A and B are shown apart, each in its own frame.
Chain A
Amino acid sequence: MAVEIAKQNWDGQVEELTIGATEEEGGTRTSTVTVGGETTLPFLHFEGEIPNKPVVALEILDEEPKDWPEPLAEVWGDVWDDPAKWAKKCVEEYGAELIALRLTSADPIGQDRSAEEIAETVEEVLDAVGVPLIILGCGDEEKDNEILKAAAEAAEGENLLIGFAEEENHSTIAAACMVHDHNVIAQSPVDMNICKQLNILLTDMKVKTNQIVIDPLVSSLGYGMEYSYSVMERIRLGALRDDDMLAMPMINFIGEEAWDVKETQASEEEKPGWGELSTRGIQWETAMGTTVLQGGADILVARHPESKENIEAGIEELMTESSYE
C-alpha cells in the first residue's frame, strides 16, 4: 500500500506587501521588506507557496524606556536615550532588517512632545538607517492622530508601515497613509469579526488590500496568547478560503507583551524557582514568537536581539522546502 500525501487545495492567497522604498521607488531606503503571499498554512510548503519568509523587526522607543527590565537595559542602555543611535545599533550590531519606532514621548501624560518634534525624530531615524520602518503611536488616540499624520508626511515616499487604525478610530490615520503612500496596521481586539469589519471600513475608504497589515493584538505567553493564536489561525483559514477581507499579512508585537509580565521581570531572589532572569525573558519572548509563527505571523516585533536571533534561526529551518516528490 503506497502512502498518498493528503494535500488541501486552497482557493485564496494572502496579500503580498512591501515595506520601504528605495531611491528608484521614490524613497531613501537601502533595502525593503516583503511579506505575505502565502497560499498555504504556515510552513506547509508541500501544498502551496510561501514566497516570503516571516520577518523579525526590532522595536525601539523615541525616549528612554521607563519600565524595561534588566536584560533589555543591558543591551540597549547605552543608546536608548537617542533613537537614531539605537536604530543604528539594531542594524549594525544585530542585523535588523526592519525597525519599529514607537513614539511614546508624544504621550500627553508623559513628555507630550509635539507633532513637529515627532516628525523630526522620524526624519533623524530615517537618516540614521537604511532599513524600512514601522511607526507606532503613543497609545493616546487623539494625540496619535496628530503625530502619525505628521510622521506620515515627514516620511512621504518611504512606504512605511504605520499603526494603529482601529474600528472606532481609523479614518485620520488611514487617510494620512493613503495621501502619503504608506501601509497601515489595522488593529482589532482579539476579535476576528472586528478585524474583518475594520478591513472593510478601510477598503471602503479606498485603502488598497495590499497596503493593510492585520494586528490581532496578541497577549503574552501565559496570559491568554492562545486566544489570539486561534484568532490568527481562523484569519489565515479565512484568507486561504478566499475571504479578501481576511487576506492580509499579520503582525505581532511579541516584545511589548513578553517583557511586560512578571515572569520576565522578577529577580532571582524574588522567584528562585524560575531560574536566571538573564535568560528567562529571552526564552519567554522566543517561545512566544515561535508559537505565533505557527498561527501565521508574517512580521514579529521583538525587543531583545537574542530572541530575534533565536526566532530567525527557527524561521530559517521552517523555510526549508518540505515538498514530497
Chain B
Amino acid sequence: MIIIGERINGMFNDIGEAIKNEDPEPIQEWAVKQVEAGADYLDANVGPAVEDSPEVMKWLVEVIQDEVDAPVALDTTNVDAIEAGLEVHEGSAMINSTTAQPEKMESILPLVAEYDANVIGLAMDKSGVPKDAETRTAKAMEIIANADARGIPMENLFIDPLILPVNVAQDHAPEVLETIQRVKKLADPAPNTVLGLSNVSQNCNNMKLINRTFLVMAMAVGLDSVIAEANDEDLIDAVATAEIVLNNDVYCDSFLNQFRKK
C-alpha cells in the first residue's frame, strides 16, 4: 500500500502561515512526522493563502526534500507550478493530477513522460464527477489509453475513482468500490488505483472510523495507494492489518511495527 501523506497543504493554518512567511520549519516537521508514520509520498499543496505559483511549488519541494528522502506529490492545477516542482525534484515525483479532459491530459501527460513521473488520473472530465461505476471506468480508460499512447508505463499511473462524502453522496461509495475493481482489469499490467480518502468522511461524525473502514474495503477490491492522514495511528494499523489479511505482506507478530518500518 502506497501512502501519500496529505498534511503539507496550505489549507491547514500552520502550513498556510509557513508558506506565507517562507518558514520551512513547520513543513519539514510534518515531512519527517509523516515519513516516520509510514508515508511513501508527501503531498504538497500551496493552499489558498498565497498565489499558486511556480516559485512557491519549487520552494516547497526543495524544503521537503532537504529534510527527507521521500518523493513529493505535486498537488496543484497550475501546470507551470508542476513543471517548476519537477525541475527541482529528486527521484520520481507524482503529479496530482490530471482529469480525462483532453486539454488537461495534453498539458500534463507530456510532463509525466519527460520527467518519468507518476501521475494521478481523476476519473472525470469537465462535466464533473460521474454518478456510476460505468462512467467512472470509461473516464479511467480514456486516461489509460492516452498515457499508454505516450509510452507512460501503467505502474506510473494512479487512477482516482473519486470518492465523495458519505453523508451527502452515500450512493457513490459502492460505485467507487466497483470502479476500483473494474479499473484493475482495464490493462495488463493494471494501472494503480488511488483515493483521496479524507473526502469520504467530510463533515461526518466519526470521520476517522469512516476513513479506515472505507480504506480497508477499498483495499479488498484492489486499491493500491491512498492520500490520507499518515499520522492517524488507527488508520495505519488498519492498513497494515489489511495487507496481512490480503497476503500482501508476510505475517509476523510485529506486523504493525514492521509495516511502519518499510
- Measured CB to CB, the residues of A under 8 A from B are 192-193, 196-197, 200, 234, 238, 242-246
Contacts and interface: CB of A to CB of B under 8 A. Distances in A.
Nearest to B261: A244
Contacts of A200: 252, 254, 257-258
B256 to A, nearest CB: 12
A313 B254 CA distance: 41
Interface string B226-262: 0000000000000000000000011111100110011
Interface residues on B, range: 10 to 19
Interface in B198-212: none
Given A193-B250, A193-B252, 14 more contacts: A192-B250, A193-B251, A196-B258, A197-B252, A197-B253, A197-B254, A200-B254, A200-B258, A238-B250, A242-B262, A243-B262, A244-B261, A245-B258, A246-B250
What is the predominant secondary structure among interface residues of chain B facing chain A?
Answer: loop
Contacts, number: 27
A161 to B, nearest CB: 23
A243 B250 CA distance: 8
Interface string B38-77: 0000000000000000000000000000000000000000
Nearest to B254: A200
27 contacts: A192-B250, A193-B250, A193-B251, A193-B252, A193-B253, A196-B250, A196-B251, A196-B252, A196-B258, A197-B252, A197-B253, A197-B254, A200-B252, A200-B254, A200-B257, A200-B258, A234-B250, A238-B250, A242-B262, A243-B249, A243-B250, A243-B262, A244-B261, A244-B262, A245-B252, A245-B258, A246-B250
Contacts of B252: 193, 196-197, 200, 245
Contacts of A193: 250-253
A174 B195 CA distance: 44
A48 to B, nearest CB: 18
B116 to A, nearest CB: 14
A192 B253 CA distance: 11
A47 to B, nearest CB: 15
Interface of B: 249-254, 257-258, 261-262
Contacts of B250: 192-193, 196, 234, 238, 243, 246
Contacts of B258: 196, 200, 245
**10 A-B pairs with least C-beta separation:** A196-B252, A197-B252, A193-B251, A197-B253, A238-B250, A200-B254, A193-B252, A196-B250, A192-B250, A243-B250
Interface core residue of A196, A242, A243, A244 (most chain B CB under 10 Å): A196
A241 B109 CA distance: 29
A304 B150 CA distance: 59
Contacts of B257: 200
Nearest to A197: B252
Contacts of B249: 243
A190 B92 CA distance: 39
A59 to B, nearest CB: 30
A168 B261 CA distance: 24
Contacts of B261: 244
A193 B258 CA distance: 13
B128 to A, nearest CB: 37
Interface core residue of B252, B253, B257 (most chain A CB under 10 Å): B252
A238 B249 CA distance: 8
